[in-house]
A and B are shown apart, each in its own frame.
Chain A
């Protein structure tokens, strides 16, 4: 570091950073007015002043519906997470092995779900998975009739896994890419079988990326609304649908407030926890805007 003359006035500027806060202010006002105040209001509504009660939170656990739906949501999210891992790991592994040209092609393919319009994507899955659709016909051709992954959990899982795969593959790709492959060759050279070399050398080194990707996918899959509404069945609704239903159909704003706060707090806690495994969450934004792995 050279003590440049131009650097000197900087210290005096540091003492009065007001002008820079003025630049940040409009964004703070917008986000506060549009997001934070409504979220704060639903928190206030959930404790129902002036009676200040936790009744709406207690009834979430006693009404018999919410807990069941929460459990179903967690199970669905877990299935999606495992599927995304099983599909994403070999793909991310392949990405680290191929040449630069094939790698950028594979990377573009991973990012396709990001920019496939939400409604176009869900419409496409309805077409593919419905009764009489290509999947149904394919299995009938194989002599297995009645495979209709539409209007049930399997359809929701297929559609959710597809759109969440980037969040599994990108952290995995950055972890797997940083592993020194010569370690594998060394293990092979010392007489290990390919499978044992992978399991004992490569897999333990890749676990950080696996955990990061799985946390990310699990957290994000808790909030899905459109996909379960369009591809699932009303009898097997997930937590987001329950929240929407309480708001627009039952007009139970206090109950919806409590449920919304519960979902929000759960998500933020998971996010904060996931952040400790290598700061993957700010990576969502970075991934989404730059199409490359996050740096923070």
Chain B
């Protein structure tokens, strides 16, 4: 009613001027909001699911309850797989970050065709379908007796984590002045001391970002993990896979919620910290 009244009161010429030269049509906002809902829907729906006491995957929830969380934190199978995932992801991230950072620093100093080729080779897992890697790794690891072992999981996940470290450390090195290395050396520092006192602090954010992504990649990896699993050792994504295929186990909603919320926090916190740090500069 009020909209009609104000439209009548206002002369049409003025409204047109208010609209600007190049307005955004309303339908574009509608489409944008619908697409945004589509993008975030799966992440959001697991949260209400996890507070339901039902025995199936029914949505919307009918019986509010914390039973899925109680089950998750008391079932040795779920807890064990969570522990395995943390262990594998931590070790794989450590390994990938160490070798990936070294490689990024080395490749930053190297030029030529061979260096470019090696960089592509190290990045290859990012474009190779996970299933192709999983099948090849599975068959070779069978011969090497690495299937179902902690070592097997760690090296496989570390290898696919290397590209993330390489990319983020390389981009951090973009603003790094190589003359600092010689300055440090000329002042008598060993290469290792130079790395710890000069290089590492300057590229710390790239290293941390790479380590986080290597951790999350391993923690969430399911295809290779499905092939490397054994009754004795499996990670949480594999247990989640079992809970929708072999058994209908709604405990998955609790684990899915925990993963979604913790990964979101891990990724958002550095971003927010960066935004806060940047804000004073923008304000001037």
- On whether the two chains bind one another, the answer is yes
Residues of chain A with a CB closer than 8 A to B191's CB: 19
Are A119 and B102 in contact, CB atoms less than 8 angstroms apart?
no
* In the assembled complex, A285 has its CB within 8 A of some CB on chain B: yes
Which chain B residues numbered 137 to 160 have a C-beta less than 8 Å away from chain A?
137-141, 155-156, 158-160
* B159: nearest chain-A partner, CB-CB: A34
* A27: nearest chain-B partner, CB-CB: B103
Residues of chain B with a CB closer than 8 A to A162's CB: 38-39, 41-42
Which chain A residues numbered 105 to 149 have a C-beta less than 8 Å away from chain B?
106, 109-110, 112-113, 115-128, 130, 132-134
- Which of A38, A39, A113 has the largest count of B CB atoms less than 10 A from its CB? A38
Known: A90-B35, A117-B256, A120-B42. A20 touches B159 (CB 8 A): no
* A32: nearest chain-B partner, CB-CB: B121
* In the assembled complex, B167 has its CB within 8 A of some CB on chain A: yes
Known: A20-B106, A116-B43, A119-B256. A87 touches B35 (CB 8 A): yes
Which one of A19, A34, A112, A184 lies within 8 Å of B40 (CB-CB)? A112
Are A290 and B131 in contact, CB atoms less than 8 angstroms apart?
no
Please classify the interface of chain A as helix (H, G, I), strand (E, B), loop, or mixed, using the class held by over half of its residues: helix
- For the complex, what is the distance from the CA of A87 to the CA of B33, rounded to whole Å? 11
CB distance from A3 to the nearest CB of B (A): 13
Are B127 and A271 in contact, CB atoms less than 8 angstroms apart?
yes
The interface size bin for chain A is: 35 or more
Residues of chain B with a CB closer than 8 A to A127's CB: 45-46, 49, 57, 59
* In the assembled complex, B74 has its CB within 8 A of some CB on chain A: no
* In the assembled complex, B67 has its CB within 8 A of some CB on chain A: no
Are B21 and A41 in contact, CB atoms less than 8 angstroms apart?
no
Which one of A130, A225, A267, A281 lies within 8 Å of B223 (CB-CB)? A225
Which chain B residues numbered 161 to 216 have a C-beta less than 8 Å away from chain A?
162-164, 166-168, 171, 178-179, 182-183, 191, 209-210, 213, 216
- A-side interface residues toward B, CB under 8 Å? 4, 6-7, 9-10, 17, 19-24, 26-28, 30-31, 33-39, 41-42, 45, 87-88, 90-91, 93-94, 97-98, 106, 109-110, 112-113, 115-128, 130, 132-134, 162, 165, 181, 184-185, 219, 222-223, 225-226, 229-230, 240, 243-244, 247-248, 253, 256-257, 260, 263-264, 267-268, 271, 281-282, 284-286, 288-291
- B-side interface residues toward A, CB under 8 Å? 21-22, 24, 28-29, 31-32, 35-36, 38-43, 45-46, 49, 57-60, 95, 98-100, 102-103, 105-107, 109-110, 118, 121-141, 155-156, 158-160, 162-164, 166-168, 171, 178-179, 182-183, 191, 209-210, 213, 216, 220-223, 227, 237, 240-241, 244-245, 252-253, 256-257, 259-260, 263-264, 267, 271
